[in-house]
Amino acid sequence: MTAPVALTTEEARTRLPHLTVVDVRTPAEYAGGHLPGALNVPLDQLPRALPALRETRGELLMVCASGRRSEQACAALAEEGVTAMTLAGGTQEWARRGHELGRPHHTPRTTWSMERQVRFTAGALVLTGLALGLLHPAWQLLAAGIAGGLVFSALTNTCGLAALLGRLPHNRPRPADLDATLTALRAR
């Protein structure tokens, strides 16, 4: 399988008015800042969005925080005969280059990126394991387990903790949100 076409941030910025941009991050990540005009279809909801993505006229640009999940989305779409491109470096690179990020107007609070949620949760669990380890040494296994999970995550470029956190209510799309996104996709 070949790698999807990756647009640089400058190429994407120039072509943005002519692209259908689909952000495959969680709703919380999307709310924290996304490419202008991007529609949110979380990666795990891609199969449900497939019919609407097939009907979309023009080119599809899949986007995530760093480019990894958008590459996975492109690969999944390619298996279904849908061609899509990815944004090299994702929204992190887009923001680093000083380009504007859109934010939903209905989200009054700041949301954390999935990476930040993972770092916070892993750190809190390690500290908890070490603190409880003062009461009983077996609790130190919690800290060791999280450390092992982080090493495994780095080696495999996967993250079980992110998958677990992605299932929390604030990271899940409400059915009405996804339905509105699919309607917007079909209208393009």
Selected catalytic residue, list 19, 41, 52, 64: 64
Burial of 59 (0-12, 13-18, 19+ CB in 10 A): middle
Catalytic residue status for 74: no
* Residues classed as catalytic: 64
